[in-house]
Chain A
Amino acid sequence: EAGVTQSPTHLIKTRGQQATLRCSPISGHTSVYWYQQALGLGLQFLLWYDEGEERNRGNFPPRFSGRQFPNYSSELNVNALELEDSALYLCASSSTWDRDGTDTQYFGPGTRLTVL
């Protein structure tokens, strides 16, 4: 069974540009989560989508946004890129939230975003 996939693997942008990162969850999973892992910092929660809706977001500015498509894949958009947005962006997926033991989040390989 395929795991969580993300594209692209690497992305290089310049300050002020926009970046779009993509994630496909494990088959059967309806929830997609986005995390940022910047150098020297731990994983920080960005966004959670479930059944096409944003359920929660972390302490990030509004220029971090995303959406979830009917097939449960997701896109993270970062507008007006800043140097400090350079990080590994990890996507995770889980199955239905409310069933105990099934909301384990499984991670994809990440997209390395570099802002020059």
Chain B
Amino acid sequence: EDKVVQSPLSLVVHEGDTVTLNCSYEVTNFRSLLWYKQEKKAPTFLFMLTSSGIEKKSGRLSSILDKKELFSILNITATQTGDSAVYLCAVLLGTSGGTSYGKLTFGQGTILTVHP
């Protein structure tokens, strides 16, 4: 069964801290790994990673994928209260015709709380 596991499940930090969120996966037909931020309702897309070892960066956020060890990390530097959210890791599966084709399999999410 396809599985995505995130750790920690929750994290409380103060503004200015740096945090690292982890995502490991065991899936068949890996296509890509995605990170989303969910504040109220709609998960907001952050990164898509397909190649191992290449860091994606956007402002204070960065992410990297290790396809050999089957994990990814999301780093947030100089955290702000606006970073408080649930961070979701998801793996996009599938080759054409497979039963897992097209679906995102999500981890449980990491609840990040940033205090002023």
B104 near A33 with CB under 8 A, answer yes
Contacts of A107 in B (CB 8 A): 36, 42-45
How many Å from the CB of B103 to the closest CB on chain A? 4
- Whether A105 and B104, one on each chain, are in contact in the complex, defined by CB atoms closer than 8 angstroms, is yes
> Cα distance A3–B42 when bound, in Å?
11
Q: Which residue numbers of B lie inside 8 Å of A, CB to CB? A: 31-32, 34, 36, 40-45, 48, 50, 88, 90, 92, 94, 99-109
Of A62-70, A78-86, A95-103, the segment with at least 4 beta carbons within 8 Å of chain B is A95-103
A55 and B41 CA atoms in complex are apart in Å by 26
B42 engages A90 (CB within 8 Å)? yes
Contact of A42 among B42, B44, B101, B107 (CB under 8 A): B107
Given contacts A42-B109, A110-B41, could you give 15 more A-B pairs where the C-beta distance is less than 8 Å?
A3-B42, A31-B102, A42-B106, A45-B103, A48-B101, A48-B102, A56-B100, A88-B41, A90-B41, A101-B50, A103-B31, A103-B92, A104-B48, A105-B92, A106-B45
